[in-house]
Structure 1
Amino acid sequence: MTEIHPAPVEAKDFLDFVNQAQSPFHATEQAVIRLRKAGFQEIKEKDNWNGTLKRNGKYFFTRNRSAVIAFAVGGKYKPGNGFSAIGAHTDSPCLKVKPVSKKERLGYLQVGVQLYGGGLWHTWFDRDLSVAGRVVVETADGKLENRLARIDRPILRIPTLAIHLDRSTSADGFKFNNETHLTPMISTVTKSLTGEPAKALKPDTEINGDIPLSEKHHPVLMHLLSEELKVPVDKILDFELCLYDTQPSAIGGAYNEFIFSGRLDNLMMSYCSIEALIRSLKTKEDSLANDPNIRLVSLFDNEEVGSNTAHGADSNLLPSTFERLSLATYDDDAVSNTISTAYLESLPKSYLISADMAHAVHPNYSEKHDDGHRPHMHKGVVVKVNANQRYATTAPTTVVLREVAKKYRVPLQEFVVRNDSPCGSTIGPMLSAKLGLRTVDVGNAQLSMHSCREVCGTEDVGLAIKLFEGFFEEFPSVDARLTVD
């Protein structure tokens, strides 16, 4: 059947990405799959990059398997030249399985969870939930291996209390305790006693002398992971699991104008950044060959909890990458006498787009937006400004982006919070301060940010990709016209 109002191809492709990216580990894996397909070569952070990197080369590496940096070296790049960079993040607010998750109450088996980030936790009630993340297993030859796991069917649910048992919900709103009420059930005791999972763990199974694994997690959960990974239960040593809504992301609206999905913040910008980098190397054969810069995308983890981790934006991940790329030798170049200053020289020549989703004006809460700053879906990428530096945008950094947007015919919108409203932040200010980088904060407009199920516009996916692609191709020439330091 032919669609009357088909959604843009970029929106459909994003669905393929986000529907396979239920955790930061899976999001990183999806980015890596696309990079490999586009001819990017994997390198290791622990290796010496000298003799490996070449001009016009395309490379990537991961850290913790939840953060990834991809870059392409311009054909005219010389140590000391700048970086054309975009930063985004792979994590989203979610519930995570506790290290000791085994709970049982009134005939129900429950899984203890932690709150990760600042989620709208009431939206997780009455959803069909499952788990995805990283599992550490012991292989047959004794190696300790990280594997990705995702159970593709609903196994968990957090039920609400019937209104008949709490009439105050109508008058006072839905209130709950994050520890006692936000605990999903996975099975009933009666069913678990007759099912095979109850026999899956031996009582004496231990992890390095710790308490028995069977006392940490319900055998039924361990059995499900065992089936998913095709390994014996006693070879599962530990895991980091995120809960996710099993309802697939979808195109919606009367004219297929919306994307209904979890994790739009910030997998939308992660997807657009990676796609833009890949496309910028395809659209013009001489584009990279004539580029004096290194084009780079960095997808960090842990933005939702402050970024102060080894794989977050407040780590050494981006600074050390910039430094290594500035000091590396390319092709058969000899080491310059001034090579030790190349890193410091490169930073003032560089520019960072901090890409994180933005707040669309809400039709039912329009008073929450300043009259002159009400971003809409389908009307372009949002430039975010804050006088108190919650965003890193400045007038010169905005001008650079506007010049690119003008050439590529991408509309831009502006957003500031009301003076009587709190303001979120991004990775932009911390990276700008840490590296002295010129930075602009942008994102696509969305509603229901930090909900289990969010919404954004289908047209905006392609607009963001087009803007970022144009940035990679045009930044050096635009920067050459800028006289403001």
Structure 2
Amino acid sequence: MAKEGENEVVSDLIGFLNASPTAFHAVDESKKRLKNAGFEQVSEREDWNLQAGNKYFFTRNHSTIVAFAIGKKYVAGNGFHIIGAHTDSPCLKLKPVSKVAKGGYLEVGVQTYGGGLWHTWFDRDLTVAGRMILRDGKGGYLHRLLRIQEPIMRIPTLAIHLNREVNDGFKVNKHTHLVPVLATSIKAELNKGAHENGPIVDNKKHHSVLLQLLATEAGCQPDDICDFELQACDTQPSIVSGAMKEFVFSGRLDNLCMSFCSLKALIDATSSEGSLEDETGVRMVALFDHEEVGSDSAQGAGSPAMLDSLSRITTCFSPNSKVAVLRLLEKAIQRSFLVSADMAHALHPNYMDKHEENHQPKLHGGLVIKTNANQRYATNAVTSFIFREIAGKHNLPVQDFVVRNDMPCGSTIGPILASGMGIRTVDVGAPQLSMHSIREMCAVDDVKHSYLHFKAYFEEFTHLDAKITVDL
């Protein structure tokens, strides 16, 4: 039976997706939701004064966010119940010098980020979004998120008349073909000096017309822009669609869908009166940047961000020496559990041979437990059992995925955190199609399944884990 509020989960996801064109915006939207739910922001630059029964979060680089709720009965050395996901998706990021002029066109130089299906970026209405560093007019500098709503550029395909073999195989040259067109040179030249805010100052790194668009959106002058970190974005909004309204069509489902479901699960599992009353552990969500490029950054899953979080929380509740705190942290990690949540590959009806015959995740079939003997996923029998047991108790469907032996296997933040911290980990994800396309799809039902599964995990893991004996 549908639980109260279940029907609102998908529309809530659509709102989250449409508010999050970049990792920076996803973190900003997460902050708003956490604050509305009573979570207090803390800073890694300051000391923490945490209290049992309270809820907190911090951001790193404004592209990674960690939120946690401390059980009323928590003591140093108790476990952490974590869901980890990531905020980034494959995209085209503007180069430090983006100014490109060819054949009478003004173009924008971009870098490929991650392993995108780059042919899907052609003939889409694109804009830019990200963050800027601005002068504040008082000798200081501001960090400002930015998004131009209307389409301002496009990557046009070559007409079939000029490439008759294109339908036999469209091979994208990522350097020469993936350059968005911003304007024509003649039009931009005619508009110089005619702008309502006065003449547009020429810039050696970026087209003046682009800088003026950014300045207008930010409500500043082009000269106030010190630097920026922007990416190309599709302007088509996320929607619920399909003949039966059973699908979500959107960009960045990998992995904002899992980020949203885990965040909403944490908020809802800690919002009711008494929800943390009997909790002995810490419920946590960690949404990392840079998973799509290996996680090796100051704010990626390969950084100390997760371990720093666990260490600082443990220290806040321990008056003992550093050596004693270290021992408590080691004990806490062995009592902890990580759900690595990253979208999974649903069976594609037009490419059925790409799946192993006994492991074909279906849309509507629930969360997929991913297993790989070579540890590209961190799942084992114990961690898989725990996640299945929670599903069974709530009549939630669950599926299995193993890649074919003759195909390479992708990976997630799961093995990175499992090997770096020694934490028990299960790799899971909602099934989807068109992964890494500019426009992906998943099932409405699986959004609900994921949210309910994650929420049940937060609420019940402590009691379930107490019944499991392994290393004795």
Q: What residue is the counterpart of 2:296 in the other structure?
A: 308
> CA 1:199/1:366 → structure 2, altered by over 3 Å: closer, same or farther?
farther
- Asked if structure 1 preserves the Cα contact closer than 8 Å seen for 2:118 and 2:172, the reply is no
CA-CA distance at 1:406 after TM superposition: 1.4
Alpha-carbon distance between aligned partners in 2 of 1:80 and 1:46, rounded to the nearest angstrom: 24
Q: Does 1:468 align with 2:454?
A: yes
Match of 1:158 among 148, 155, 158: 155
Match of 2:346 among 360, 364, 368: 360
Alpha-carbon distance between aligned partners in 2 of 1:339 and 1:453, rounded to the nearest angstrom: 47
Query: Residue 209 of structure 2 aligns to a residue in which SS?
Result: helix
Match of 2:185 among 186, 189, 214: 189
Query: Residue 239 of structure 1 aligns to a residue in which SS?
Result: strand
> CA 1:328/1:478 → structure 2, altered by over 3 Å: closer, same or farther?
same
Match of 2:417 among 431, 437, 440: 431
Q: What residue is the counterpart of 1:25 in the other structure?
A: 24
Alpha-carbon distance between aligned partners in 2 of 1:359 and 1:31, rounded to the nearest angstrom: 26
CA-CA distance at 1:201 after TM superposition: 4.0
- Asked if structure 1 preserves the Cα contact closer than 8 Å seen for 2:201 and 2:208, the reply is no
Match of 1:448 among 418, 430, 434: 434
CA-CA distance at 1:8 after TM superposition: 3.7
Aligned-partner residue type, residue 124 of structure 1? W
Structure 1 length-normalised TM = 0.93
Query: Residue 144 of structure 2 aligns to a residue in which SS?
Result: strand
CA-CA distance at 1:334 after TM superposition: 5.0
Alpha-carbon distance between aligned partners in 2 of 1:308 and 1:128, rounded to the nearest angstrom: 32
- Asked if structure 2 preserves the Cα contact closer than 8 Å seen for 1:200 and 1:223, the reply is no
Aligned-partner residue type, residue 87 of structure 2? T
* Mapping of residues 88-237 of structure 1, within 5 Å: 88-170=85-167, 172-195=168-191, 196=194, 200-203=199-202, 214-237=203-226
Aligned-partner residue type, residue 151 of structure 1? I
Runs of 4+ in 1 over 6 A off after TM superposition: none
CA-CA distance at 1:286 after TM superposition: 2.6
CA-CA distance at 1:340 after TM superposition: 4.1
- Asked if structure 2 preserves the Cα contact closer than 8 Å seen for 1:8 and 1:459, the reply is no
Gaps of 5+ in 1: 1-6, 204-213
Q: What residue is the counterpart of 2:246 in the other structure?
A: 257
CA-CA distance at 1:173 after TM superposition: 1.4
Query: Residue 111 of structure 2 aligns to a residue in which SS?
Result: strand
Q: Which moves more between the two structures, 90-99 or 188-197?
A: 188-197
Q: Does 1:277 align with 2:266?
A: yes
Structure 2 length-normalised TM = 0.96
Alpha-carbon distance between aligned partners in 2 of 1:99 and 1:46, rounded to the nearest angstrom: 28
Alpha-carbon distance between aligned partners in 1 of 2:134 and 2:154, rounded to the nearest angstrom: 27
Match of 2:307 among 307, 319, 332: 319
Alpha-carbon distance between aligned partners in 1 of 2:183 and 2:326, rounded to the nearest angstrom: 61
Aligned-partner residue type, residue 238 of structure 2? S
Alpha-carbon distance between aligned partners in 2 of 1:408 and 1:241, rounded to the nearest angstrom: 43
Gaps of 5+ in 2: 1-5
- Asked if structure 1 preserves the Cα contact closer than 8 Å seen for 2:383 and 2:425, the reply is yes
Q: What residue is the counterpart of 1:12 in the other structure?
A: 11
Q: What residue is the counterpart of 2:256 in the other structure?
A: 267
Aligned-partner residue type, residue 25 of structure 1? F
CA-CA distance at 1:385 after TM superposition: 0.3
- Asked if structure 1 preserves the Cα contact closer than 8 Å seen for 2:347 and 2:355, the reply is yes
Query: Residue 267 of structure 1 aligns to a residue in which SS?
Result: helix
Q: Does 1:397 align with 2:383?
A: yes
Alpha-carbon distance between aligned partners in 1 of 2:365 and 2:201, rounded to the nearest angstrom: 59
Query: Residue 466 of structure 2 aligns to a residue in which SS?
Result: helix
Match of 1:248 among 229, 237, 257: 237
Aligned-partner residue type, residue 102 of structure 1? K
- Asked if structure 1 preserves the Cα contact closer than 8 Å seen for 2:88 and 2:255, the reply is yes
1:291-312, CA deviations, whole angstroms, 9 ceiling, x for partnerless residues?
A: 0000000000000000000000
The count of residues paired between Structure 1 and Structure 2 equals 462
Query: Residue 405 of structure 1 aligns to a residue in which SS?
Result: helix
CA-CA distance at 1:200 after TM superposition: 4.8
Aligned-partner residue type, residue 233 of structure 2? Y
Alpha-carbon distance between aligned partners in 2 of 1:313 and 1:200, rounded to the nearest angstrom: 45
Aligned-partner residue type, residue 289 of structure 1? E
1:29-88, CA deviations, whole angstroms, 9 ceiling, x for partnerless residues?
A: 011110011010000011111xx2101100000000000000000000000000000100
Query: Residue 216 of structure 1 aligns to a residue in which SS?
Result: coil
Aligned identity (percent) is 52
Q: Does 1:343 align with 2:329?
A: yes
Q: Which moves more between the two structures, 107-116 or 401-410?
A: 401-410
